[in-house]
Amino acid sequence: MDKIIHIIGVPMDLGQSQRGVDMGPSALRYAGLFSKLHELGYQIKDLGNIHIQDRETLNKDDLMTEICRVNELVYKAGQQAISNKNLPIFLGGDHSISIGSIGGVTHDSSVGIIWIDAHCDYNTPETSLTGNIHGMALATLMGKGWPELVNIGRPGPKIYSRDVVMIGVRSLDPAEKEIISRSGITIFTMRDIDVSGISQIIHMALKHLSHQKNIHVSFDLDALEPVEAPGVGTPVRGGLTVREAHIIMEIIADSQLLSSLDIVEINPILDNYNRTALKAIELTESLFGKRILM
């Protein structure tokens, strides 16, 4: 891969109630993201962090305005990186940043989306039990929810069910189950992984997305078993092992279809010696081609 990697920090925790994921970009940089990718032979350009207003200065109405403003900037950064034939990595922050990142990287043409997450993030304002926007990100991208979020970057849906595969799902709200069952999205739950094995699952995912020439990976660290990744805001037991996650990343790397990446929901406040960020770096290395035998 000869693309230049663009690092875009989005230290936003406005999409959820649990504080701390705003430190995710710093944790990933501190854990050695640049040096590890550089060792794999990549050119890297760090575009720094998008500025985000402090949560304490915002009232409820301002909160939505700021989430929209930030995602508009993320959208533009993703659009520009792809148009210049570079590969953007978006460092979150909570998963609401994907409204901008996936919107931006699909501005000129559609891509396949592999959404690795314990949750579906397919709530709407009507179904959400918390009102947290990070739990509505995928639904928003598919045109459901508040218009000001749906229309970020360009009007209407940014992606469609045929272009999305979810892996690692194991926690959904009751009403969310109903609407996502009608969405047409291909979902591989942890039960599917236990029954079929992770290698078969990721090959099935790539086959489903074979109509696309590029893949965006949206990786929420709570997809992992909490023992392996304690530094997340919404941990759910029974997740991916680290080895299963490496296999996912290695097989995507083999496909040579990766065009963009989100790394989200790392919360250093809840972590143990930056363990979760270090795991994220190791998995990113696999996604970018690190092999056991070169």
Catalytic center residues: 95, 117, 119, 121, 134, 220, 222, 265
The Cα–Cα gap between 104 and 109 comes to 10
Which amino acid would we find at residue 42?
Answer: Y
Specify the length of the chain in residues.
294
HEC readout, 154-205: CCCCCCCHHHEEEEEECECCHHHHHHHHCCCCEEEEHHHHHHHCHHHHHHHH
- 80 φ/ψ angles, rounded to the nearest 5 degrees: -65, -40
Direct distance between the N- and C-terminal alpha carbons of the chain, in angstroms, rounded to an integer:
15
Q: CB neighbours of 199 closer than 8 A, spacing ≥ 6?
A: 247, 251
Share in percent of the chain as helix, strand, coil (round to 5): 45, 20, 40
SS3 217: strand
SS3 272: coil
Q: CB neighbours of 246 closer than 8 A, spacing ≥ 6?
A: 282, 283, 286
Q: CB neighbours of 25 closer than 8 A, spacing ≥ 6?
A: 9, 10, 11, 49, 91, 92, 93
